[in-house]
Amino acid sequence: MTDRYRGFTATPIGSFLVKNLGLPQPTKLERYAAGAPLVDGTVLVGGRGRLAESLPGLLDGLGITAVNIAPAETRLKGLVLDATGLTSSSELGALRDFFTPLMRSLHSCARVVVLGTPPEQVAGAERIAQRALEGFTRSLGKEIGRGSTVQLVYVADGAEAAVASTLGFLLSPKSAYVSGQVVRVGAHGGGVGDVGEVADPLRPLEGKTALVTGASRGIGEQIARVLHRDGATVVGVDVPQAASELQQLTSELDGDWLTLDITNRDAPQRIAQHLATKHSGVDVVVHNAGITRDKKLANMDDSRWDSVIAVNLTAPELITRELLDQGLVHRHGSIVGVASIAGIAGNVGQTNYAASKAGVIGLVDSLADELDDGITINAVAPGFIITQMTAAVPFATREVGQRLNAMSQGGLPVDVAETVAWYAHPGSSLVNGNVVRVCGQMMLGA
């Protein structure tokens, strides 16, 4: 499962042709390797606001080299601007003043993060200025190029101490295929400043139990592997037909497994009983299992519609409710739904699938303000991810899907997995109610 076009553009003749024909020239993305530093280079911080003074020390605590003044001739790996102090549109020029002189000083695969205040928590001219940050960051993400990314993090007043896990993710190669996103920290539920502690930064999930549905292959397999890398004991769930692959994976990861059809009436109770008796509960719940049964609505029969809704949406609803009702999700636990760009932008022939994935986002919206004990619920929305399933897509459709984003390439299952691991991090206990697209910043519809 390789991107042959990107490989071709890296050759001398390929590079010559794409430059002269004006074709996309994707950059090979840097991805995180276990044990590597979060940032291999220097991050420049600036701005004025609630986080400006604490940023250098916060990044230093993550092992990230941060400076307030760019050393001469130094190529920067990241930029962080505290824009929480912008209170009117007349002050938005600070964005240009900070970024314009620095854009040509960035390495490839650099990271840019703007910090703001949730617009819904302020009023008047300040609300206008803070909302403007979204247009700025989304546009910069589409023009920065060379595998670099741009994000906006809205930090609620009082949640300043809870941004470390988010900055660690967004400034590192873990967020390789995430760009143009808006993240809210402390905007939904939870106690302000109530952040889970981590003894070992390289294994933040040590001693935690993670449930992953659809774990035997593809994105689910990578989610299981990354959560295991971060220290979790993984309980994989999949259909009986995938039992062999599931057992092999969980054996390799020193985990546990359970085979069942998650749409069965007793599935939520069986999962809950398994977690209660064998693991004394669960810390991370990842609703990854999903199916497609594509047809245009005019040709959609009952079975295609019902099966997709049942697997992709109803099962996560019922399993989540059962685990919560039984009190099996531990304090600072994390519930993660795997949605899709289709649920945001729609897709021809996928009214059933898009409805189910939009419903996953609805599940996040419905529970984000109801959960207590620091439990969070968030969703990832993958775009074109290179898997065995997408490898079967017709060539022309596959090429368009991979190129129609700011990075001109498809993502990998590990990109989704790293985003899930960020949500699951104990330090992300104020990252709640978010839907982050893992799509290379699609050009249309999102």
Say what the pLDDT of residue 398 is: 76
Say what the pLDDT of residue 20 is: 84
* Confidence at 11, pLDDT banded by 50, 70, 90: confident
Complete edge-to-edge strand list for the sheet that includes strand 282-287:
256-259, 233-238, 209-213, 282-287, 329-338, 376-382, 435-438
Say what the pLDDT of residue 199 is: 83
Whether 26 and 54 share a structural domain: no
CA 248 to chain centre: 27
Whether 234 and 129 share a structural domain: no
- Please state, in angstroms and rounded to a whole number, the distance separating the CA atoms of residues 338 and 58: 30
pLDDT average, residue stretch 360-364? 98
Say what the pLDDT of residue 12 is: 86
Whole-prediction pTM = 0.96
Backbone angles phi, psi at 149, to 5 degrees: -130, 160
Whether 57 and 101 share a structural domain: yes
Examine the pLDDT at 247 and tell me if it is beyond 70: yes
Backbone angles phi, psi at 423, to 5 degrees: -60, -40
154 is catalytic: no
Say what the pLDDT of residue 194 is: 63
What is the helix (H) or strand (E) element at residue 283, kind and residue range?
A: strand 282-287
Whether 238 and 322 share a structural domain: yes
Active-site residue among 32, 154, 177, 353? Answer: 353
- Cβ-contact 242, 213 below 8 angstroms: no
CA distances from 130 to 126, 127, 325 (A): 6, 5, 38
- Cβ-contact 195, 219 below 8 angstroms: no
pLDDT average, residue stretch 299-311? 98
Whether 445 is in a domain gets the answer: no
Whether 396 is in a domain gets the answer: yes
Angle, helix 315-325 to helix 267-279, in steps of 10 degrees: 40
Whether 431 is in a domain gets the answer: yes
Domain final residue pick, 185, 201, 227: 185
Whether 227 and 364 share a structural domain: yes
pLDDT average, residue stretch 382-410? 82
Whether 420 is in a domain gets the answer: yes
Whether 200 is in a domain gets the answer: no
- What is the CATH number for 177? 3.40.50.720
Whether 421 and 334 share a structural domain: yes
Between strands 106-116 and 76-82, the pairing is parallel
Mean pLDDT of the chain: 94
For residue 433, give the nearest of 383, 354, 379 by alpha carbon: 379
Share of the chain above pLDDT 70, in %: 96
Say what the pLDDT of residue 191 is: 46
pLDDT average, residue stretch 425-443? 95
- Please state, in angstroms and rounded to a whole number, the distance separating the CA atoms of residues 109 and 410: 15
Q: Which segment of 70-79, 115-124, 134-143 scores lowest on mean pLDDT?
A: 70-79
Structural domain span for residue 24: 1-30
Whether 201 is in a domain gets the answer: no
Number of compact structural domains in the chain:
3
Examine the pLDDT at 444 and tell me if it is beyond 90: no
Examine the pLDDT at 188 and tell me if it is beyond 70: yes
pLDDT average, residue stretch 91-106? 97
Q: Which segment of 6-20, 75-89, 286-300 scores lowest on mean pLDDT?
A: 6-20
- Please state, in angstroms and rounded to a whole number, the distance separating the CA atoms of residues 236 and 242: 11
pLDDT average, residue stretch 170-197? 84
What is the helix (H) or strand (E) element at residue 128, kind and residue range?
A: helix 124-143
* Confidence at 196, pLDDT banded by 50, 70, 90: low
* Confidence at 445, pLDDT banded by 50, 70, 90: low
Whether 216 and 144 share a structural domain: no
**DSSP label of 112:** E
Whether 82 and 128 share a structural domain: yes
Whether 96 and 131 share a structural domain: yes
Whether 196 is in a domain gets the answer: no
- Please state, in angstroms and rounded to a whole number, the distance separating the CA atoms of residues 211 and 34: 22
pLDDT average, residue stretch 182-195? 75
Whether 316 and 393 share a structural domain: yes
Whether 93 is in a domain gets the answer: yes
Backbone angles phi, psi at 44, to 5 degrees: -95, 130
Whether 22 and 44 share a structural domain: no
Whether 150 and 274 share a structural domain: no
pLDDT in tens, 257-297: 999 999 999 999 999 999 999 999 999 999 999 999 999 99
CA 225 to chain centre: 16
Say what the pLDDT of residue 24 is: 83
